[in-house]
Structure 1
Amino acid sequence: MDKKKFKTVDAYFQSVPKHALERMEIIRKTLKEVAPLAEEVISYNMPALRYHGILMYYAAYEKHIGFYAVPSTHKNFSKELSSYKTGKGSVQFPHDQDFPLELIKRMAAFRYQEKLDEVSG
């Protein structure tokens, strides 16, 4: 990925390497469907969804896609994420492995519902 600063999600996507672009576009579409009230933004120089705060980030790298849906989400899905490289609130989905779209969708839905519950108090 380019090291430039992105102002929009569209600008970010123009810099995504071809080998990662299809997966990134699928994630983008899926997140918009799962979190319809969320706004697409650039945060920490990567695509993110915001609804009363950041819900999740995602980014393309040479060998993987990074997905960042805060620690509570990752904790909730820890068993399913155990075969991936993870951090406190991050997971790497390698390009050379099957794409876990349903897992990403469920994680995004969990995080979105968590935020909806928080906002509705």
Structure 2
Amino acid sequence: MPTDTNPAGDIFGGWLVSQMDLAAGTAAAFRAQGRCVTVAIDSFIFHEPVIVGDEVSIYTKIVQTGRSSMVIHVETWRRARNTKDRRKVTQGKFTFVALDENRKPRPLPPEDGFDTVTA
């Protein structure tokens, strides 16, 4: 939306980061079968801007797990209105930790083979 733009008229980068964090959080919570928190964004690259009106798609993949943590690779793609042209606009690695009811790190449950979630 226009309220999510920067002074140049492109979508504000912080909005994209928050949407990517939400998507990664969904993947993390699904894998952990419960509450998770973002503890780091280890890398982040803006490849090109997103224009108001573009369709935005975000894809996640868990690339590493530890005892209670997960590293999730996130990519954002844009499709300009009325075209089939899709282009990657951002990518990053987000680290999440699974939490228990006391907000303390807890072990991840055993893998069930469903580590990829598209949001």
Structure of larger gyration radius = 2
Give the structure-1-normalised TM-score. Answer: 0.30
Structure possessing the higher relative contact order (Cα contacts under 8 Å, 6 or more residues apart): 2
Give the structure-2-normalised TM-score. Answer: 0.30
Larger strand proportion of the pair: 2
